[in-house]
Amino acid sequence: MAATTTLTINDLEVQFSLSGLDNVVIIVGSTLSGNDAGSEAHLNRRFIIATPDPSSFIPFTDLTESNVANFVKATDSYTTVLQKLTSIIEEQKQSPITGMEPLPWEP
């Protein structure tokens, strides 16, 4: 079963003026969480967002959480972070190969 992931937007850093656009999101602070069969992990990351095309620019006051999540998912680093999260969860699901046991001669 694949991990279920959630992207939570924590904060936005804007550049007040960029290429004739106002309040352009340049960095998104977020937490990427994942869960698979009770094994879970959380990674906090800051994603650098590409400069938007002026023809498809969404004014800051009109942004939705979904818009910003899509900005993050469009970055090259999102896939890398998602793979790292999945790897951490998979490691947690593995049976341990070492551990402590009580002394066999003690009750």
What does pTM read for this prediction? 0.82
Q: What is the mean pLDDT of residues 12-16?
A: 97
In this prediction, residue 93 carries a pLDDT of: 82
Give the DSSP letter of residue 97: S
In this prediction, residue 98 carries a pLDDT of: 82
Q: What is the mean pLDDT of residues 47-71?
A: 96
Give ∠ CA 38-80-86 in degrees, rounded to 5: 15
pLDDT tier at 37, thresholds 50, 70, 90: confident
Q: What is the mean pLDDT of residues 74-91?
A: 93
Element spanning 4, H or E: strand 4-18
